[in-house]
Amino acid sequence: MSLIVYTVASLFTATALLVFRRPRLALRDPLTASTCVSIFLGGLCFFCSAPVTLGAVNDLTRIPNFGAPMTYSVISAYSASLLILLINWRGGPAERVRRQAVRVITVYSLVITAVITLFALADAPAERLRDLDTYYANTPYMREMIVLYLVGHGACALITIYVCLRWSREVTGILRVGLRLIMAGLAVDVTGFEGAKLTAVAARWAGHDLDRLSTGLAPRAAALGALLCAAGFVLPRLLPAALAQWHSVWDYRALGPLWAELRGVPTAPKPAPPRWLLPRGRLYYRELRILDALLALQSRCDGRVREAAYQRARAQGSPPGEAHFVAAAAMVVDAARQARRPHPAESAGPGGTDRLHTALFSDTRELVRLARALAGSSVVEAARRGAARTAGG
């Protein structure tokens, strides 16, 4: 059991580090900070509840079962962090968000204080690492402590489900998916963890033994529910960034033909991009170099080449939008061909520089379309061989 619990705790820790990858920015953003705190406390709940950890804490403090109020306090803090995270995620006026967060902190601080106080008043000399909830279900003060932490965590789950249900009706897309994952995780938590624990405790009150629900079903349900909740909170924050990086990989590769064509154009020297850059950063560097090369070609761009290429593309059946990029690519290829010549460049001639703007595309999608036209058009290939200039003359 400890291995399973530690594995879940490690997953939570890794997720928290992933969200908290930029500490300075994260601390300035209440939503990111509360997300990290919530995920970290979720992992700490599982770490503290492992029998190995409980035994070590009991031995260290020399207080039998001291790990129980510690774990219950962490669970209560985790419940509070979920509500605070939901408050920050929902947003609104800063004063209202702060006021609601203070209320949650106050309530769960009282719960934690009560848990510790009840444990101090209770008589629980026998160390129980796996079945404390049921073993001490009829012990004064321990009974109240157990019920208190379960009710506090259950109330948090039900409130969060209610808020997420209402909110999910107002939003769409990845945010709705995240809210549904949170509701699914909390539903598993309420039915699997809370339900199993309370049923086992109530069975002890009635003189029956259903401890297997508390020691077997409840921990597994808690792990599954917590992982679903963490995914629901993290997915809307990380998935858009991950998709942006993935799209950057494809855009970077799509710009390869254009960069290969312009690589030999003399420009101001630029430092090589760091190797640790993510795909989005590498795409930025490639776009920057391409735009620098296009600017360097402005005196060589010939509007006659563009016009001839446009007419050829239209004659081949290309729609106006596609023909526009084909013509611009032909003009860029012709200018790059001139730039690679060892002798002085030819004059662009009439209509040259006033067409330069057609070759300058600051938007990534337009640069990609330009690169695809350059790589796949027979008209551009003709310009590369110099046939377009002849037709234009």
Output the pLDDT for position 23.
56
Q: Are residues 299 and 164 in the same domain?
A: no
Residue 328: inside a domain, yes or no?
yes
Q: Are residues 56 and 125 in the same domain?
A: yes
Contact 383, 333 (CB under 8 A): yes
Q: How far is the C-alpha of 240 from the C-alpha of 235, rounded, in Å? A: 8
Distances (CA, A) of 245 to 14, 97, 123, 238, 302: 20, 32, 57, 11, 36
Q: How far is the C-alpha of 31 from the C-alpha of 84, rounded, in Å? A: 9
Domain harbouring 101, CATH code: 1.20.1070
Residue 249: inside a domain, yes or no?
no
Contact 104, 83 (CB under 8 A): yes
Distances (CA, A) of 321 to 143, 310, 314, 370: 75, 10, 10, 11
Residue 253: inside a domain, yes or no?
no
Q: Are residues 174 and 221 in the same domain?
A: yes
Q: How far is the C-alpha of 201 from the C-alpha of 136, rounded, in Å? A: 9
Residue carrying structure tokens 């994952």: 181
Q: Are residues 78 and 209 in the same domain?
A: yes
The structural domain count of the chain equals: 2
Please give the DSSP secondary-structure letter assigned to residue 265. Answer: S
Q: Are residues 178 and 279 in the same domain?
A: no
Output the pLDDT for position 351.
47
Residue 179: inside a domain, yes or no?
yes
Which of residues 242, 273, 307 is at a domain's end? 242
Which of residues 242, 277, 311 is at a domain's end? 242
Q: Are residues 74 and 161 in the same domain?
A: yes
Q: Are residues 98 and 151 in the same domain?
A: yes
Alpha helices in the chain (DSSP H): 2-19, 23-28, 30-49, 51-61, 67-90, 94-121, 132-135, 142-168, 173-188, 195-205, 211-212, 218-254, 256-262, 279-296, 303-315, 320-339, 364-376, 378-384, 387-392
Q: Are residues 199 and 265 in the same domain?
A: no
| Residues of the chain predicted below pLDDT 70 | 1-5, 15-28, 342-362, 386-393
Q: Are residues 27 and 121 in the same domain?
A: yes
Q: How far is the C-alpha of 318 from the C-alpha of 194, rounded, in Å? A: 65
Token output for 20: 């908290």
Which of residues 242, 276, 307 is at a domain's end? 242
Q: Are residues 354 and 270 in the same domain?
A: yes
Residue 251: inside a domain, yes or no?
no
Contact 137, 68 (CB under 8 A): no
Range of the domain at 384: 260-392
Q: List Cβ neighbours of 256 (8 Å cut-off, separation of 6 or more).
A: 371
Q: How far is the C-alpha of 190 from the C-alpha of 375, rounded, in Å? A: 58
Output the pLDDT for position 135.
95
